[in-house]
Structure 1
Amino acid sequence: MDDESKIRPAVVLDLDLSQPLPPVAGIAPDGRRVLQAHVLVRLFTEPLGTVLVDVPEQGLAPYALAAAIDTELGEAVSSRLRGAPVPVHGYVPHVEPEFLASRRAVLASAPEITVVVCTRERPGALARCLDSLFAMQYPVFRILVVDNAPVTDATAEVVRAAARRGPVEYLREPKAGLSFARNAAVAAAPGQILAWIDDDETADPHWLAEVARALAAHPEADVVSGVIVPAELETKAQLWFEQFGGHSKGRGFKPDTFGPHTAHIQSPLYPLPPFGTGANMTFRPGVIERIGGWDNALGAGTPAMGSEDTLAFTQVLLTGGTIVYQPTAVTHHYHRPDFEGLHKQMVGYGTGLTAAYTSLLLAQPGLIFKLMKLAPTALRDLTGSDSLRVSTLQDDFPRELLSANRRGMIAGPRAYLRGRRAARAKVRGTAR
């Protein structure tokens, strides 16, 4: 084995502080040396944050893990424990934590939610995703799987098998492109709350419960965006993606809302920090239709490669809508494990970002003046050592990936125009 094959960059743990903390082995069962532990920390199931801690070769003792958690999240833990029942003669009265009581109250009148999974020729990942959805602790939901331009029956077979276990339906969208698949789902589920998850993810058991809690607490919310944490960090490429901000881009675990009331603080036109990602988002009925649907020239399967979600979030805010960031609504993502896949993803992120802005400007040319005012901020975020995009990068992060991301940004406008022509051709071909 070469040196890299002997290393496991990080073990991913999901730990609740209401239970004893485990030791973390320095050597994995397969013999690889574990360098770090990435820990999603909870208290009474409530996610409080993540901690990345070094693991010595002899392993990490529970007390050392506790000390690392206290350093990063001590205040968050303490704030939840204030007012907790005081032991009397060694007995702690059973009092339901406020967080759990709030969730239970919401579940008593939980709204029905349709979970949408758009997929293409990834039956193994889809089966894993569906397994996690069936395991959720939520009383009323259905699953809609959209099979995008399939070339085999593999996805249909997975759905047929899953339908024996729970409420899952199959929809075939012949036009290739994620936005075509998303629009097909919207058309097939009118008047329904739509929660979106990718096929390379798994849902936390309380994902929909926390989405419902956000919807109940914020009746003005048009969109609820949750947190995406890594499901594994088995390779350097996966760890590098997390260093770049992962899917949550440093937003942390503090709930927030964005809308007309925050426009003077955070422009709707710049996508950090209020925006989420399409892999964990929920829209109230009619919101997607109000913004004109998903742009078919954006997203996976187009020259732009992504950012149909970013454009949709921006349009919601520009039309006076409200987005709620609910970090307790968690999904777990399997990052691309190899450098080539990560490189392509970085190019796609850059391409999709400027492609989304191109779409926005073609629809509303007057926004160019507001974007020009934001350009210096964007430039600082791209190059500044303290920006969210680069401040978390370690010395081993390949700078080639940053260059790939910027090359993608340059290519974005032309990619969007190509994608728009191709999307219109597909629509015309279907109409014949």
Structure 2
Amino acid sequence: MESTHTRPRLTEIQVAELDLAAPAGPVLSFGPAPDPDGPAVRSGDVYALVRLRGRPVATVVCRVPPGADPAQAVAAAARDRLADLPPEPGPPGDLPRTSVVVATRERASQLARALDSLIAQDHPDFEIVVVDNAPSTDATRDLVQSKYGDLVRYVREPVPGLAVAHNRGVAVADGAVLAFTDDDVVADPHWLSALTAPFAADPGLGCATGLILPALLRTPAQILLESHGGFAKGFAPRDYDPARPPADEPLFPFTAGSFGSGANMAFRASVLRSVGGFDPATGTGTPAKGGDDLYAFVSVLAAGRRLRYTPDALVWHHHRETWQDLRNQAYGYGAGLTAYLTATLARRPALLPALLRALPRGLAHARAITAHRDDPAGAASRSPGEHGAQSHPWPRVLSRLERRGMLAGPLGYARARLRVRGVPLPWDPKADRRREPAEESRRRESAEERSR
């Protein structure tokens, strides 16, 4: 039996926001999940998103001494941190018609919180599609129909699995861009506009991802996950171009986890459909445990399209709260990683030579990551706030679970493929390629020629 000393004793970190350029001076407020009956931000540990004129630019973790002004304490820590700011984005073009797809299963209360934030988006032209995946009750349907009416479209998908549910959303959505998020997020009001603006600016773009920050850091499991990277990919925009592989990523494009995460991603609809969408044998709800988003990222890059990470597109994620949740998550991350690589081999054999060349370095890289987590000195070597929260040693039991998941991922994918055998793709990829507007093709080719 696992001893209790493997579970770190960590205390709550308050999640807050602060805009350094507010007209009346820095004002500190709770993040996306305030306690309406609780006090304002108080002394103690604070994790704060720093904004400049509303734009997210950094996170800081600091301790507010008793009796100190929390806003001034956090502002001082933020100014110390902000030596270099990411460049201001250019003005967006005409934002494309967008469909937001949210797959869910029996989590109506969380879904309502997410939908409330999605309805409040400042994007000028979008729809919301909820895909109810293998429901055992009518709770989700009743919520959508009774509370949201015509504001949200409800679709039922009886086959379990996140990728299957996403593919159902792809089939029914009418947007030129398809955005995906989860039922356990709160989207910043500017999220959808920021996530879809790159598609207007770059006709050769196939995918965009955004910033994911923690909505709460109340439990040891939530704090540990965020301390060791969470889902955030930093505050610097980045482009991934298959024609110009990044020099600092020798395993590109197989390190797909560095591109973004499934809770905050968008695709050009014609591109996603033309590459076959999401592999239905991957994702939560299948024996593969995950990897559906990673497979889609690599599929888009393998098709010659670019991917852009844009930190201005922000969602707040409610991390799982319990130790058992974190154990399951560690195992699932490992399984999803190797399941996605197996899916890439099985469905895109043309990538096999490149994958085989990268495999030894990839396995060494994965072992180095988990070994670094195991080493308390590795945690101590990171400065507070480098990954968004204070550094704490990663329990060895979680690293072992992650490695076990890596070993199980290929078999899990094979089992999942047997389960979904015969499940048809809900659209015709070849037909979608034929429907891609000629004008869009010409613009893309022109932009690619200029970039060369």
Q: Which amino acid aligns with 1:129?
A: A
Q: Structure 2 CA distance, aligned partners of 1:362 and 1:220?
A: 27
- Secondary structure of 1:199 counterpart: coil
- Secondary structure of 1:262 counterpart: coil
Structure 1 stretches lacking a partner, 5+ long:
81-97
- Is it true that 1:15 corresponds to 2:18 in the alignment? yes
Give the direction of change, closer, same or farther, for the CA distance of 1:335–1:273 in structure 2 (3 Å limit): closer
Q: Which amino acid aligns with 2:398?
A: L
* CA displacement 1:151-186 (0-9 Å, x = unmatched): 11100111113334x621100111111111111111
| Aligned with 1:424 (options 414, 421, 424) | 421
How far the C-alpha of 1:329 sits from its partner, in A, is: 0.4
Q: Structure 1 CA distance, aligned partners of 2:277 and 2:218?
A: 37
How far the C-alpha of 1:38 sits from its partner, in A, is: 1.2
| Aligned with 2:196 (options 212, 216, 241) | 212
Give the direction of change, closer, same or farther, for the CA distance of 1:273–1:149 in structure 2 (3 Å limit): closer
Give the direction of change, closer, same or farther, for the CA distance of 1:339–1:30 in structure 2 (3 Å limit): farther
- Is it true that 1:36 corresponds to 2:45 in the alignment? yes
How far the C-alpha of 1:16 sits from its partner, in A, is: 1.3
Q: Which amino acid aligns with 2:48?
A: V
- Secondary structure of 1:254 counterpart: coil
* CA displacement 1:63-108 (0-9 Å, x = unmatched): 33222112222331xx87xxxxxxxxxxxxxxxxx76xx55x64xx
How far the C-alpha of 1:7 sits from its partner, in A, is: 6.9
* CA displacement 1:29-50 (0-9 Å, x = unmatched): 4799964211111111111121
Q: What is the root-mean-square deviation of aligned Cα atoms in Å? A: 3.1
Q: Structure 2 CA distance, aligned partners of 1:322 and 1:236?
A: 37
Matches within 5 A, 1:23-172: 29=38, 35-58=44-67, 61-76=70-85, 106=93, 109-164=94-149, 167-172=151-156
**TM value normalised by structure 2:** 0.80
Aligned to 2:446: none
Higher relative contact order (Cα pairs below 8 Å, separated by 6+ residues) = 2
Q: Structure 2 CA distance, aligned partners of 1:118 and 1:384?
A: 30
Q: Structure 2 CA distance, aligned partners of 1:359 and 1:413?
A: 8
Q: Structure 2 CA distance, aligned partners of 1:240 and 1:281?
A: 24
Q: Structure 1 CA distance, aligned partners of 2:371 and 2:63?
A: 23
Q: Structure 2 CA distance, aligned partners of 1:315 and 1:177?
A: 19
Q: Structure 2 CA distance, aligned partners of 1:34 and 1:129?
A: 30
Alpha-carbon contact 1:23-1:60 (below 8 Å) kept: no
Aligned to 1:83: none
Q: Structure 1 CA distance, aligned partners of 2:16 and 2:140?
A: 30
Structure 2 stretches lacking a partner, 5+ long:
1-6, 383-389, 426-452
Q: Which amino acid aligns with 2:326?
A: L
Alpha-carbon contact 1:130-1:162 (below 8 Å) kept: no
Q: Which amino acid aligns with 2:131?
A: V
Aligned to 1:336: 320
Q: Which amino acid aligns with 2:288?
A: A
How far the C-alpha of 1:415 sits from its partner, in A, is: 0.7
Give the direction of change, closer, same or farther, for the CA distance of 1:50–1:405 in structure 2 (3 Å limit): same
Matches within 5 A, 1:409-420: 409-420=406-417
How many residues align structurally? 396
Q: Structure 2 CA distance, aligned partners of 1:140 and 1:54?
A: 42
Aligned to 1:404: 401
- Secondary structure of 1:292 counterpart: coil
Q: Structure 2 CA distance, aligned partners of 1:115 and 1:377?
A: 33
| Aligned with 1:260 (options 215, 218, 242) | 242
- Is it true that 1:284 corresponds to 2:268 in the alignment? yes
Give the direction of change, closer, same or farther, for the CA distance of 1:355–1:62 in structure 2 (3 Å limit): same
Range with greater deviation from structure 2 (371-380 or 147-156): 371-380
Alpha-carbon contact 2:16-2:46 (below 8 Å) kept: yes
- Secondary structure of 2:333 counterpart: helix
How far the C-alpha of 1:113 sits from its partner, in A, is: 1.0
Give the direction of change, closer, same or farther, for the CA distance of 1:219–1:49 in structure 2 (3 Å limit): farther
Q: Structure 2 CA distance, aligned partners of 1:413 and 1:273?
A: 17
Range with greater deviation from structure 2 (251-260 or 337-346): 251-260
